[in-house]
Structure 1
Amino acid sequence: MLGIKLERKSEQPLKRQIYAQLREQIMDGQLNAKDELPSSRELAKTLGVSRNTVGEAYDMLIAEGFAISRQGAATQVAEGVSVKKGEQAVIREKPSQAYTIKADFRTGRPDLRQFPQYLWRQFLHKASMETPSELYGYTGPQGLPALRTEISLWLFRSRGLKINAEDIFITSGATHALHILAELLCGKGGKVLMEDPCHSGMLQTFRKKGCLIEPIPVDNQGMMTQYLQYKDPCAVYVTPSHQFPLGGILSAARRAELVRFARENGVYIIEDDYDSEFRYSGEPISPLYAMDQQNVIYVGTFSKSLFPALRIGYVVLPKPLHRKWSDIRTYMDVQNPIFEQAALAEFMRTRKLDRHIQKMRRIYGQRRRVLLELFKEAFGSGWTPYGDAAGLHVAVDFPGIQFDEAFRKGCLQNGIYITPVEKHCIVREAHQSKLLIGYGHLEHDEIREGITMLRDAMDSMI
């Protein structure tokens, strides 16, 4: 009856199978408005199920408005609920070509093989066992107090910053922080002054929030602050301790000029402390925040120092922004997962983070030295490394050579993943001779093999 077929071994209850098939027939016009449905007794007998099962299926149809029931009358199909199936538009997407990557020089990739996963699982287990029941609810947009306290202590140990834990707000990474800051400071149509070149992902974050971008050129000392001449900006985005992608350190004079500009124009500086904890000649650079706690918003993340999937970052906010940040975060996603925050707080309290960063600083520093030595062997003196000895990548300049999109795709076809600096430029053609070489995730033999492949590719394409 009505073409209903029941799958009695299915995990879906019989009443829901009956309901779903009747609803499909009603929506498709096989059952028309005012058509009477069989009595529950009659349909139950035909299908070999209990009358209650059919009654519950009818109740679902009535509750959702697909059927109407009146006392003393048969259940009827409701009016205006038919949605006949039409021809769907076929969208043909160009298939993406898959390449087998043998030399992976992607930037911003830590060596996850070195992370103490077993230890981390212990901290997660401890957090799940010891977290009090009241923290299983909504804990608010600022983040776990214990984690904010440990971050403030860690910033004092590692950067010399004296920060009140109440000024720290936990995020789901640096990109998430920029999404909120773009809405908080700018709104659609607000103007952001950005380094050029800059991280293309961060650039797109601001653009997708409707911000207008004014590029400020970069040299080997970071943002060229003499070009800060634009009127009515809502924020300045800068990576002063290890500029991405060229790796320069913003000089003291330029830092002072940037702070003066922010104060005179009443704007906030967004300081992204991009992977500056991995510095291989001396201590990490003191953040710009140390010069001005009123106009600088400090953004940090644990994606590079621990692992990207952790999705925990933080911002240090001036007090006038606390309430508005909390409002935005509350109606965006409320909070970060509590167990990861608790585990990270304990990881930091027991100094496991400090020791892990110390260990990785040695490993990455050695890999950088190996990379530069192998580059010298492969390319002689026809290249120049850019930036400070820090981070997980190095920018390399080959004067007289142009690395364009065709070169990048040619490398992909040869199994090499590499990024020209041009890909991160707002104004094109200023850095065509530079490549970005990520090495943090590569062992020495992988670096050697990759550079050999890159040299052969350059010989064949250039």
Structure 2
Amino acid sequence: MWGIELRRDSEVPLKRQIYQALTERILSGTLQGGEALPSTRELASGLRISRNTVNEAYEMLISEGFVLSRQGSPTRVAEGLRLRRDVRTDKGASRPETAPTAWLADFRTGQPDLRQFPRYVWQRLSQNALRGMTPELLGYTGPQGLPALREEIAAWLRRSKGMAVREEDLFITAGATHALHVAADLVSREGREILVEDPCNKGMLQIFLNKGCTIGRISADEQGLRTEELDGRQACAVYVTPSHQFPLGGILPAGRRAALIRFARESDSYIVEDDYDSEIRYYGDPVAPLHAMDPERVIYIGTFSKVLFPGLRIGYAIVPPELQPRWRSLRTHTDVQNPPFEQAVLAEFLRTRKFDRHLGRMRKLYGERRQVLLAAMEEAFGDRWRSWGDAAGLHLAVQFPGRRFDDSFLEACRKRGIRLASVEQHALRKGDHRDKLLFGYGHLEPEEIRGGIRLLKEFMDEGVADS
């Protein structure tokens, strides 16, 4: 009746199905304002259901103002409820979804091998953490983060990087992206730039742009930020990835680190240190962070996304004392805090040193895959390439002297099933890095790496790469 079809096997109650069918007709204009609905007895008979079920559906419509009911009169549709059809929305809704590309070679950057994550260990720790959580920890625990997690992060930074960090200076965040959002609000000053490396991570750059910050570029080379370009700049902050510059991979040397610290002091600005990929290092110990040189001038940002799994959404920041009250206020009035349960599990993962062991295994695995990639490049391209920044991280920047990789080349790769990015895509000033491609390898098995490089070699030999 009235085109209403009830599904008696559905989990949605019959009264709710009637309510939904009638509201759809009212909002679309099929039922006009002032039009009478059938009596509850009539509709119940037509649908072959209980009259009480129809009564309950009508009561829902009346309580929400879709229909009006007066004693002795039929129930009528309220006026002014028709919604005009949005042509653009309809077109978008009717367009079939594009199927994801089946990549034959997927060299995306920043992707850890999630198949290696120790699920069973995490599950067991999760059960222990939940049993050990007091009722107080299930409430609001404050913007700084779970004390147990801050204690364990401070201990891990001490044993892995030699950092002397006080727990009260640590703030838990929803990853590095969230930390940069808060840091941008902290350091922004009208009339001053936030200086960034060029090239830099365009996703992180977009955070500052979305905040309305004025951006200034400082060139990066094989050793990271070129600090000689800082002279005379009026900045409120410098965003830098000194341990593994993204995307070129350079490690900022001591002389440039000292120059950067001096600039921050003399210009009364801050350094936002994104410790990108520093844990995945293949030569020697991890590089000492800038934070160790001047804790009063450096906002240090770390994350567990790459070393555990991105969906965890837990990172941390070490914040100079004078900025901490403002940080607490900003965090309190945005999302208050991270969920306590995941924090408790991660704290236990760190406390039991299972994190250290997992990181050691992954560093060894990624190192082996890095060697496979380098060998595959040599086999395919001989001496017609050179790597940049291959001492750390999950990707490799590769220069092909004499080649030019533009958007048309990357699009042609995509159509061939090769997923690649170029350094030029991350450059503010275009033209300086047109001969460099980025190869992510952490998530790939050795044969996937070799097969992907062979496929790229065949494609490039066709001459498509030259513009």
TM-score, normalized by the shorter chain, greater than 0.5: yes
Q: Quick one: structure 1 residues 260 and 66, their matched pair in 2 at CA, closer, same or farther if it must change by over 3 Å?
A: same
1:225 paired residue among 213, 224, 227: 227
1:359 partner amino acid: R
CA distance in 2, matches of 1:365, 1:3: 64
1:180 paired residue among 176, 179, 182: 182
Give unmatched runs, 5+ long, in structure 1: none
Deviation at 1:259, TM superposition (A): 1.4
The answer to which of 259-268 and 132-141 deviates more is 132-141
Q: Quick one: structure 1 residues 96 and 63, their matched pair in 2 at CA, closer, same or farther if it must change by over 3 Å?
A: closer
Give the aligned partner of residue 23 of structure 1.
23
1:131 partner amino acid: M
Give the aligned partner of residue 236 of structure 1.
238
Q: Quick one: structure 1 residues 391 and 71, their matched pair in 2 at CA, closer, same or farther if it must change by over 3 Å?
A: same
Contact 1:189 1:211 (C-alpha < 8 Å) held by counterparts = no
Give the aligned partner of residue 338 of structure 2.
336
Give the aligned partner of residue 312 of structure 2.
310
CA distance in 1, matches of 2:393, 2:24: 58
CA deviation map 1:197-248 (0-9, x unaligned): 1112212222233323211101122101111246543321100111111111
Give the aligned partner of residue 285 of structure 1.
287
Q: Quick one: structure 1 residues 388 and 13, their matched pair in 2 at CA, closer, same or farther if it must change by over 3 Å?
A: closer
CA distance in 1, matches of 2:46, 2:113: 64
1:90 partner amino acid: K
CA distance in 2, matches of 1:175, 1:100: 28
Contact 1:278 1:390 (C-alpha < 8 Å) held by counterparts = yes
CA distance in 2, matches of 1:29, 1:95: 28
2:366 paired residue among 364, 372, 389: 364
Contact 2:192 2:236 (C-alpha < 8 Å) held by counterparts = yes
Contact 1:190 1:210 (C-alpha < 8 Å) held by counterparts = no
Deviation at 1:69, TM superposition (A): 3.7
Q: Quick one: structure 1 residues 445 and 9, their matched pair in 2 at CA, closer, same or farther if it must change by over 3 Å?
A: closer
CA distance in 2, matches of 1:93, 1:211: 37
Give the aligned partner of residue 458 of structure 1.
460
1:433 has 2:435 as partner: yes
Query: What are the equivalent positions in structure 2 for 1:410-425 lying under 5 Å apart?
Result: 410-425=412-427
Q: Give 3-state SS (helix, strand or coil) of 1:281's partner.
A: coil
Give unmatched runs, 5+ long, in structure 2: none
Deviation at 1:32, TM superposition (A): 4.2
Q: Give 3-state SS (helix, strand or coil) of 2:281's partner.
A: coil
Q: Give 3-state SS (helix, strand or coil) of 1:234's partner.
A: strand
Deviation at 1:56, TM superposition (A): 2.7
Contact 2:189 2:236 (C-alpha < 8 Å) held by counterparts = no
> Identity over the aligned pairs, expressed in percent?
56
Deviation at 1:435, TM superposition (A): 1.9
Contact 1:101 1:416 (C-alpha < 8 Å) held by counterparts = yes
Aligned residues: 462
Contact 1:303 1:309 (C-alpha < 8 Å) held by counterparts = yes
Contact 2:149 2:347 (C-alpha < 8 Å) held by counterparts = yes
Q: Give 3-state SS (helix, strand or coil) of 1:244's partner.
A: coil
Q: Give 3-state SS (helix, strand or coil) of 1:150's partner.
A: helix
Q: Give 3-state SS (helix, strand or coil) of 1:396's partner.
A: strand
Q: Quick one: structure 1 residues 263 and 11, their matched pair in 2 at CA, closer, same or farther if it must change by over 3 Å?
A: same
The answer to which of 93-102 and 131-140 deviates more is 93-102
1:269 has 2:266 as partner: no
Q: Quick one: structure 1 residues 18 and 225, their matched pair in 2 at CA, closer, same or farther if it must change by over 3 Å?
A: same
Q: Quick one: structure 1 residues 33 and 380, their matched pair in 2 at CA, closer, same or farther if it must change by over 3 Å?
A: closer
CA distance in 2, matches of 1:77, 1:100: 51
Question: When the two structures are superposed, what TM-score results if normalisation uses the length of structure 2?
Answer: 0.89
Q: Quick one: structure 1 residues 40 and 112, their matched pair in 2 at CA, closer, same or farther if it must change by over 3 Å?
A: closer
Contact 1:419 1:436 (C-alpha < 8 Å) held by counterparts = yes
CA distance in 2, matches of 1:162, 1:351: 19
Q: Give 3-state SS (helix, strand or coil) of 2:301's partner.
A: strand
Q: CA RMSD in A?
A: 2.8
CA distance in 2, matches of 1:216, 1:72: 79
Query: What are the equivalent positions in structure 2 for 1:58-207 lying under 5 Å apart?
Result: 58-70=58-70, 74-83=74-83, 85=85, 90-91=91-92, 99-186=101-188, 191-207=193-209
Question: When the two structures are superposed, what TM-score results if normalisation uses the length of structure 1?
Answer: 0.90
2:446 paired residue among 431, 439, 444: 444
CA distance in 2, matches of 1:157, 1:295: 23
Q: Quick one: structure 1 residues 275 and 42, their matched pair in 2 at CA, closer, same or farther if it must change by over 3 Å?
A: same
Deviation at 1:187, TM superposition (A): 8.2
Deviation at 1:72, TM superposition (A): 6.0
Deviation at 1:15, TM superposition (A): 2.4
CA distance in 2, matches of 1:413, 1:41: 61
CA distance in 1, matches of 2:36, 2:378: 85
Q: Give 3-state SS (helix, strand or coil) of 1:435's partner.
A: strand
2:55 partner amino acid: G
CA deviation map 1:148-186 (0-9, x unaligned): 110011011111111111221112211122122223333
Deviation at 1:42, TM superposition (A): 5.6
CA distance in 1, matches of 2:30, 2:417: 55
Contact 1:107 1:437 (C-alpha < 8 Å) held by counterparts = yes
Deviation at 1:414, TM superposition (A): 3.5
CA distance in 2, matches of 1:155, 1:120: 21
CA deviation map 1:52-83 (0-9, x unaligned): 43333232222222233445655443333333
CA distance in 2, matches of 1:388, 1:248: 8
Deviation at 1:188, TM superposition (A): 9.4
Q: Quick one: structure 1 residues 407 and 142, their matched pair in 2 at CA, closer, same or farther if it must change by over 3 Å?
A: same
CA deviation map 1:260-300 (0-9, x unaligned): 22122222211000111122221100000001111110010
Q: Quick one: structure 1 residues 398 and 42, their matched pair in 2 at CA, closer, same or farther if it must change by over 3 Å?
A: closer
CA deviation map 1:97-156 (0-9, x unaligned): 854323332222223333322212211222233222322233332222111110011011
The answer to which of 191-200 and 363-372 deviates more is 363-372
Deviation at 1:4, TM superposition (A): 4.8
Q: Give 3-state SS (helix, strand or coil) of 1:175's partner.
A: helix
Q: Quick one: structure 1 residues 97 and 432, their matched pair in 2 at CA, closer, same or farther if it must change by over 3 Å?
A: farther
